[in-house]
Structures are given as C-alpha cells and as structure tokens.
Structure 1
Amino acid sequence: MTKKRFFLITGSLFIISVVLSLALGNAKLDLIELWDVMTGQATPAQNFVVFELRMPRVLACLLAGASLGLSGLLLQTLTQNPLADSGTLGINAGAGLLIAFSLRYLPQGSYMSQSLPLVSVIGGLLVSWSIYQLAKKQQSTLDPIKFIITGVTLSAILSTSILPVVGHVEQAKLTYMIDWLSGKIMGDNWTSLSLAPLLLILWGLIYYRSRIFDLLTLAEESSLALGLDLHKARRDLLFLTSLLVSLTVIIAGNIVFIGLLAGHMSQLFVPAGHRVRIPATMLLGALILLVADTLTRTFLIGNTLPTGIVVSVIGAPYFLFLMKKAQH
C-alpha cells in the first residue's frame, strides 16, 4: 500500500469514527441534529450531550490512542521486537503503583488530583530506568530479549502489588483505582484534558528526533559508524516514551495493546522511516481506541465495561499471533 493511499483510507475512517462517536451513545443524535449542534442551532440538551459529555471523551481517546500508539512504535524501535508495548513492559504498572500509593497516603481533594501526573511520571520513569539497567550489557549495549523479559516480569510483580496498596482506603479512591486498572477512560472531562499541551510538546520533540530513531533500527556497528551515540539515543528514547506513557495513563487508565497493535500495523502498511511511521502509528492508535470506546458506549450501555477490556479482547489474540510468528 502506498503512503498516500494509506493516509487517505485511514484518514477517512478517522473522520467517520469521530462523527459517529459524537452521534452515538445513550442519547443518539442523527447527522442533522449533530450538524445543528456544530452550527449553534441545537437545543441546550443536545449541546450539553455533545460539548460536555462526548467531545471531551472523544478528545481523550484521540490523545491517549495516538500517544499509546506512538509509545509502542518507539519501544519496538528500541528493542527491535514487535511484541514491545508500554503495558507489557511495565511502564503502565510502575505509574499505577505510585498512583496507588498517592491515593492511599494523600488526602482526597484537589491537591491529590493535581499531584497524580507528577506521581505517575515518577513511577513510569523509575520502572523504565530499572528495566534499562537490568537489560544493559557491557559497553552500554542493550539486550532486547532481556529487556522484554525483565519488563514483563516487573509488570506482573507491580500489577499484583497495586490493589493490596489501596485495599483499605475509602470507597471513592478504591473505585478510581479499579477503574484505572481495568482501562476506563478517565479523562472524559475538560479539566483532565489540561494535560493535552504537555502531550503535544512531547509529540513534537519525538517527531523532531525521527532521523535518530531511524538509525536505531540499524545494526549497532552501522549506527556507531554513522556517529550515533547509542547509549544516549536509547536513554533519550526511553525517557521520552516513559514521559509520554505516564501522562497518558492519567487520561486513559491502564490500557494495553494499543501500542503493539498500532506500531505493528504501521510497519505492515507503511514500511518507511519514522518521519512517516510516527504520524501513521499515531493515526492508527487514535482510530483503534476511539472505535473501541464508541463500541463500548453504544452497544454495552449499562454494563459499565471499561474500554481497556474491549481493546484487550482485540489485542491479546494479536499478541499471541505475533509470539507464535516470532517462534518460526
């Protein structure tokens, strides 16, 4: 598939998904009613449904999906392994564990909510730094297989430690943590979207380093011969990815497999350099999460099934397929 055709098809699906996501839900709107809302001719009730309930959630899905897709691509570049994802490598769990500690020991209120992004970033960075140090060989070379195994192991340990930490807190905090663990979209209000500027800045910084990421896909000898400082490039990539994931999980909760799906699919459809693959992966990630969330809100009304579970139902079989494929 050519790059132009890919972006044309995916972009069209993206626009259709946004429109359907704004129109569908518990209170359905037809296209004429949605047009009336956008042109200022709708009723107050219709304006409330679109601008206060659905639009923040759609934007949260787009921001989180694009960021998780991008993080998956970067981790796959770092490890040279299509199985890499922020969820499977423990970055999500590291952020979640420190969020759990903050929920337990900080008083409930605005201070606690304002501190969660910082706490999440610290947790994500600590875990990614630990994985990198454990997987590093002599002369700062990285063992990709050891990196994946270490990440999966830490992810399992940290994930099972979260609920015991918040096991004796008040019901509101416990509910928040359970929703987070199951992948419920948390940033479905305008206040939570205040993190959007930070995510946009990170997107720009990552895209600016596209050429360096291309060099990381080469053999180590080739990268060194071209003048790349491998240790610094890998450290910077992991740092940017951890920041991106840690901020994103505040909006989207513990959603896994978006990065794996979007990163691997972009490689299949657009096997080009990172300057093209980065926007392609972000577009796919946003599309996957938005479609999953729209399906959840439209067909599972009243079941309170988190979006992350729907994504996992799709992503887990794909993960197993890639594992089987990697064995051959």
Structure 2
Amino acid sequence: MKRTVWIYMAIVVLIFAVFLLSLQMGTMSIAPLDVWRTLMGDGTEQHTLVLFEFRLPRMVIALLVGAGLAVSGAILQSLSRNELADPGILGINAGAGLAVVLFIYFFQGSYTSLGETIFALPLFAFVGAITAAFLIYTLAWKKGVTPIRLVLVGIGLNAGFTAILIVFQLRMNPEDFMQATVWLNGDIWGTSWSHTLAVLPWMLLFIPLVIAQARTLNVMRLGDPSAVSLGVKVERNRRRLLILAVMLAGASVSVGGAISFLGLVAPHIARRLVGPRHQVMVPTAAMVGAFILLFADMVGRNLLSPSEIPVGIVVAVIGAPYFLYLLMKTP
C-alpha cells in the first residue's frame, strides 16, 4: 500500500508538471510568472482569454477523456481476458466514428447550424458507441458470451464499420471530408467549458462505479468457471460492466474523437506499476491515461506550431510500438 501511494503521488506530480508546462506553451507563449498572475486573476486580457477560454478547458477535457478511455480499456481487457482488448480495436470507437460521419454526411447542408449546438455531435457519437456494443454482444451470443467470441466479433465489426465509414467519407464534399478525417484521427474538438461540463458528469459517475465493481472484475478475470464457482452471476455482471465500458468510451470519443491505443496501453502500464488487483489498478490506469493524453495533446499542439497534429496520431505513435510488442510477446 505504501508503494502504491508513492506511485499515485509520482503520477500526480507528473500530471501537474505537464499541466503547468502546457499552460505556457502554444502559438502564443506565456511566461510562467504571467501564467501564475493570470490564474490568480491579475493577468492581461489577452492572457486571460488564451488560458481560460482555450487552453484550460482543452486540457481538462484531455484529462477526462484519457481517464475514461483507460478505464474502459481496463474493463474490456478483464472481461475478455485478452491483453490486446481496447475500445478502438473492438469496434466501439469505429461505431461512434461511423455515427459521426453519417451525421456530417446527411446534415452537411445545415451542418453549421447543427454543429454549433453543444450536444449534436457528441450525441451521435454516443449512440454509435452503444449501437456497436449492442451488435458485438448480440452477435457474440451463443448460449452465453465467451471472451474469445467477444473479441473476434468486435474485430470483425470494427473492420465492417471502418469500410462503411470510408464509403461515406469518399462521397463527402472536401470541407466535410476534412472535418470527418480530423475527428476520426482523434482530435479534441470540444474545447469549451460547455463541452467540459457535458462530459464531466459521465466520468464522475461511471469511474467510481467501475472501482466499486473491482472485486467482481478480479473474480471474472479468473475465467467463467471460477467466477461461477465463487457465486458470481457471470452474464449479468458481464453485461453491466460492458455497459460501463461503453458509456465511458462513448463519452470520451464524443469530445475527443476516435483515439485508439490509449485504452490498450494505460491499463498495461498500470498493471506493471501496481499489479492486477482492480481496486488499485483501475485508479492508476485512469491517472496514467490522463497523463498520456495530456502529454500527447501538448506535443500535438506545439511540435509543428502553428499547425496542430491530431492528438490521436501522437497517441498512436506512442501506442502502436507497444501494441506490436504485445503481439510478439503473446503466445
């Protein structure tokens, strides 16, 4: 426990350090002393606008989305007993992405008026994620749902959603095509406090619910026969936990775009740091995911400034080599 507390403190310090550094960096650099004055309410109008209206809400959303995707990945890896499971790989992100592309495609004529509403695009992404999860669970059902069938069906649907998505993208006009492409590459497009408030309740509600289900996750990771022998109602708990994973992924994707690999990498790092017990692994994964996405967002905003690299591409550069390492390591 003492080691776990030290690890928690180290991750929090890293997050805080990157947070302060990210506040200073951007198209317009702000000196550390000016950042402090602005946060204390004594900054210039320009600095106040940049920090409070652009950088701070985006950074808070990065923390929330990173935590949500990491916890969603931790659930999926435990339910499937597969270290390669991830909301992006299983097709949940692709389902949300397809819903967003359909929204842009069918409403492209009135996209400006619809896109200005806070919940239009997130709502479609959320519905797409839930639909994808429902199809995965339904098609994987055969006198129950086995972890292997869940993963295989998810990978198959992911490929199908991606193919349909490409077809609709190719039929778009150039402006809408670019909008969809950037979003699908993982772009924190929701950068206002309204978007932050839209996603915050989901994280505050569902992440504690997952932590409360930590004992069930510990047992289900042992396998269905062992879980049944210990009195766990496997199918009911699997459905409940799958819904929690989808809700977290859908809420995250709705404002952060289709970010892959984060839900894969963060739980692995957390298990290496604190072990497999979900009581400590899930909070650690949430903090690791928040740190990775905050760091990736800082890199994406500043590496080729004033141009931005979608944060999903930065995360993929970090996560893809680790994914290949896991593939080679898996027997």
1:315 aligns with 2:330: no
| 1:270 aligned partner | 274
1:191 aligns with 2:194: yes
Pick which of 154-163 and 280-289 moved more: 154-163
Unaligned runs of 5+ in 1: none
Q: Look up the equivalent residue of 1:123 and give its one-letter code.
A: G
CA deviation string 1:152-188 (max 9, x = no partner): 2221221232142244445553332111111111111
Q: How many residues align?
A: 325
| 1:299 aligned partner | 303
Pick which of 34-43 and 191-200 moved more: 191-200
Is the 1:103–1:166 contact (alpha carbons within 8 Å) kept by the matching residues of 2?
A: no
CA deviation string 1:11-51 (max 9, x = no partner): 11111011111111111122211111111111111111111
3-state secondary structure, aligned to 1:81: coil
CA deviation string 1:78-103 (max 9, x = no partner): 11111111001100001111122122
Alpha-carbon deviation of 1:241? 0.9
1 CA distance for matches of 2:320 and 2:313? 10
Is the 1:254–1:308 contact (alpha carbons within 8 Å) kept by the matching residues of 2?
A: yes
> Matches of residues 42-61 of structure 1 in structure 2 within 5 Å?
42-61=43-62
1:177 aligns with 2:180: yes
Q: Look up the equivalent residue of 1:190 and give its one-letter code.
A: W
> Matches of residues 1-328 of structure 1 in structure 2 within 5 Å?
2-106=3-107, 107-109=110-112, 111=114, 113=117, 114-138=119-143, 140-142=144-146, 144-169=147-172, 171-193=174-196, 194-327=198-331
Identity among equivalent positions (%) equals 34
Alpha-carbon deviation of 1:304? 2.7
Is the 1:56–1:189 contact (alpha carbons within 8 Å) kept by the matching residues of 2?
A: yes
* Alignment TM-score, normalising by the size of structure 1: 0.93
Alpha-carbon deviation of 1:195? 2.4
Is the 1:72–1:260 contact (alpha carbons within 8 Å) kept by the matching residues of 2?
A: yes
CA deviation string 1:190-223 (max 9, x = no partner): 2222222223212232222222222211232221
Unaligned runs of 5+ in 2: none
Q: Which runs of 4+ in 1 moved over 6 A?
A: none
CA deviation string 1:37-74 (max 9, x = no partner): 11111111111111111001101100110001111101
1 CA distance for matches of 2:308 and 2:188? 11
* Alignment TM-score, normalising by the size of structure 2: 0.92
Alpha-carbon deviation of 1:146? 3.0
Is the 2:123–2:254 contact (alpha carbons within 8 Å) kept by the matching residues of 1?
A: no
Aligned CA-pair RMSD: 1.8
